Structure 1
Amino acid sequence: MTTTRRARGTSVALAATLALGACSATGTGAGDEAEDDVLRVVTHDSFAVSETLLAEFEERTGYSIEHITPGDAGALVNQLVLTRDNPLGDVVYGIDNSFAARAAEEGVLDPYRSPDAVQTAFADTLTAIDFGDVCINVDHEWFAEQGVPEPQTLEDLTDPAYADLLVVTNPATSSPGLAFLLATVGAFGQDGWEDYWRDLTANGVRVVEGWSDAYYVDFSGSEGEGPRPLVLSYSSSPAAEVPADGSAPPTAALLDTCFRQTEYAGVLTGAQNVEGAREFVDFLLSPEVQADIPGQMYMYPVLEGIALPEAWSEHAPASDAPHEVDPQVITDNRDRWIETWTEIVVG
């Protein structure tokens, strides 16, 4: 899968400015001579932490970070499995709950529980770092101008009143697209999601390959000023649309349509620098990094009590009841669901 996974206007640029030792997908192979002061950090391609925090970590620990980015969460796990006997690095960040069960069962992770970790289904090998809600976003101004009531639920999106108004991303090529597919499985069950997508397709849903095209080209509520006032994005996206004068953004997330993504970090099996890998997992759970996450990656910190940016409390609320699918059920069915979705929607 390839996509910029969030409606986080500055995060891609910020990720590109990271002052890390290396930024290629090749990195230092596990078969190369190990150096005690090198820490190989494998992440998805939307990882971003402030340079000052990374520099402080390097100074405090004495490690030099090498950054390896195989792609998004799906590509990341695929590469970890393929290189299991010659691991890409020492520590990984960016495995999400769509792929966590596969990573755990494929044996690519060593047991480690960070002292500050919150309890999750994978706590023995994966430490939850942040979370975000993939949701449909709505352009308030478009609906107000057209005199059409805004939809609220997944069911509403199949109503003829909203024909040809929604743009989403392909679950075979987009992490948000996969999350939205899972939202429909969670909402309608394994016996009902296919019929839902048939109805959505009949109602003129547009499917594009990646988030950037959906949000910046087709969506009417952002800088692209496209023709469609409903877009698949994140509940945090409206915070990026707050005008310079601090007034309310023109967009909002429909919180009844969301699927929650949780992102994890873990120590890789065969790591050359196990101690450094564990320290990096702990670093990601430090109050400083947790407070940095919203502004850098537009995700919510996993630890409670972390102050959020001012605009988030009003304009980027998380869903109170996101749709859920058990991670093991996802692993057992993900490929089949995507294949079936493709037959229904793409043909």
Structure 2
Amino acid sequence: MTNLGRFGLALITAAALATSACATSTAPSTESDAPSATGTVTLVTHSSFHLPSGVLDDFTKQTGLAIKTVELGDGGELATKLSLTPGNPPGDVAFGVDNTYAARPVRAGVFDEYVSPAAANGAQDYALAGMKQLTAIDFGDVCVNIDTRYFRDKNLPEPVTYQDLAKPEYRGLTVVENPETASPGTAFLAGTVATLGEGWQDYWRALRANDVAVAPNWSTAYSTDFSGSSGKGPKPIVVSYASSPAAEVGKDGSAPPTRALLDTCFRQVEYAGVLRGTTNPDGARKLIDFLLSPAAQATIPDEMYVYPVTRGVALPEAWAKYAPVPPKAATLPADRLADERDGWVRQWRQLMGR
């Protein structure tokens, strides 16, 4: 997820690189009941990670461990950089590798196996097949968003599906992100592959012929080009997130002028894992357990603009009303994403004449 943009809300609370010894981890564990560790646990993450300081303080009170955070760029950069240091990690635990990149570091031997006991309360529903090294923490859905005012004012039916965006009546109305440089663009491309199958190349040819615009990143697409955001740009259709409308609710609580098209969503799930070679494996496991706690999960929507994976965690009122979880978001196996993603992007570049 994001690496998911998250509307500028995510800030890093600390960024310091810890020195790690090259210790070999013990056998895979599925429990975190070792004696309590003391000192510091170093969390390696992406630039969109943020939890309230009070929540992080609760972890310290419960475990005696302070959290030090190391930022390694966006989600793709995080996965790539971790893959270069298996067994000699820059920290103890990683958070923010998503399903579109997960197979790369897992194959490289970056993580120890660990299944948190807390995963049984929802996170296990998002487990990657054959990958016991990663525990789901949150998920978000990349979806087409529309400016409902535009379609009302123009008396134009709102689009519903991927295919609608290629119809003549929507010519020149859509902006997407470049999958070479933006995670939402990669997810949208994967969504077209998952939904349209072998016809995805023809679909992109049709989009190009229909004057689709391509932005370098989510911020430009949403905050500058999209007419439904504060940027009030020229495009009433944009690739963003299922949660985006919740960010557009009026200060008085009035309904947002935007809506996500729930038949155009691709699911991104973010994972945490114990880094192989950590000198504090117990602390790493405890932090993963904590990230699945109701207290930590409850802060995820407002702080990182994604959905919690733990069952029973209530969404903020605006989310429940205007950002419901898409009932049938598209997905692809992590192994297929790892094997074919770069090829899809190369084909996309050729199809778009870039």
Common topology (TM > 0.5): yes
Match of 1:30 in 2: 20
Correspondence for 2:134 among 126, 142, 145: 126
Report the TM-score, using the length of structure 1 for normalisation. 0.93
Question: Does 2:4 correspond to 1:5?
Answer: yes
Output the amino acid matched with 1:152.
V
* 3-state SS of 1:129 partner: strand
Match of 1:154 in 2: 162
Whole-angstrom CA distance in 1 between matches of 2:334 and 2:142: 16
Q: Pick from 161, 177, 192: which aligns with 1:169?
A: 177
Give secondary structure in 1 for the equivalent of 2:313.
Answer: coil
TM alignment of 1:5-84, pairs within 5 A: 5-6=4-5, 8-12=6-10, 15-16=11-12, 18=13, 20=14, 23-24=15-16, 27-31=17-21, 37-84=39-86
Which residue number in structure 2 is paired with residue 111 of structure 1?
Answer: 113
User: CA offsets, 1:118-163, max 9 Å, x none?
Assistant: 3222562111111111000000111111111110000000001111
2:20 partner amino acid: A
For 2:266 and 2:101, the matched residues in 1 are separated by 14
- State the 4+ residue runs in structure 1 displaced beyond 4 angstroms: none
User: Which residue of structure 1 lines up, in the alignment, with residue 202 of structure 2?
Assistant: 195
Runs of 5+ unmatched residues, structure 2: 24-36
Show structure 1 runs of 5+ residues with no match. none
Pairwise CA distance, 1:334: 1.0
Select which of 144, 147, 150 maps to 1:139.
147
Q: Which residue of 1 aligns with 2:94?
A: 92
Distance in 2, matches of 1:46 and 1:346, equals 32
Q: Distance in 1 between the 2:62 and 2:292 partners?
A: 16
Q: 1:185/1:32 Cα in 2 relative to 1: closer, same or farther (>3 Å)?
A: closer
1:3 is displaced (CA, Å) by: 7.2
Q: Which amino acid aligns with 1:64?
A: A
Q: Does residue 182 of structure 1 match 2:173? A: no
Q: Deviations over 1:201-233 (max 9, x none)?
A: 111111111111111100000100000000110
- Matched residue, 2:285: 278
Distance in 2, matches of 1:154 and 1:216, equals 22
- Superposed displacement of residue 302, structure 1: 0.4
Displacement after TM superposition at 1:36 (Å)? 5.3
TM-score relative to the length of structure 2 = 0.91
- Between the aligned partners of 2:83 and 2:131, the Cα distance in structure 1 is 20
How many residues are treated as equivalent by the alignment? 335
* Structure 2 letter corresponding to 1:264: Y
Compute the displacement of 1:342 (Å): 1.1
Distance (Å, rounded) in 1 between the aligned partners of 2:191 and 2:22: 43
Letter in 1 for 2:289: D
In structure 2, relative to structure 1, the CA distance for the partners of 1:61 and 1:36 (3 Å cut) is: closer
CA distance in 1, matches of 2:42, 2:130: 22
Question: 2:33 maps to which residue?
Answer: none
- Are 1:255 and 2:257 matched, yes or no? no
Q: Of residues 204, 208, 232 in structure 2, which corresponds to 1:225?
A: 232
Deviation at 1:346, TM superposition (A): 4.1
Contact 1:36 1:273 in 2 (8 A): no
Paired residue type of 2:137: I
Residue identity (%): 49
Equivalent pair of 2:138/2:306 in contact (CA under 8 Å): yes
Q: Given residue 278 of structure 1, which amino acid in structure 2 is its aligned partner? A: R
C-alpha distance in structure 2 between counterparts of 1:211 and 1:219, whole Å: 10
Once the two structures are TM-superposed, the CA of residue 9 in structure 1 deviates from its matched residue by 3.1
Shift of 1:59: 2.7
- For the Cα contact (< 8 Å) 2:22–2:87, is it kept in 1? no
CA distance in 1, matches of 2:64, 2:350: 52
Separation in structure 1 between the aligned mates of residue 291 and residue 79 of structure 2, nearest angstrom: 19
Tell me, in whole angstroms, the C-alpha distance in 1 between the residues paired with 2:89 and 2:327.
38
RMSD: 1.8
Matching residue of 1:343: 350
Report if the CA contact (8 A) 1:130-1:301 is conserved: yes
Secondary structure of 2:261's counterpart equals strand
CA distance in 2, matches of 1:104, 1:179: 20
Supply the distance in 2 between the matched residues of 1:49 and 1:315 (Cα, whole angstroms): 23
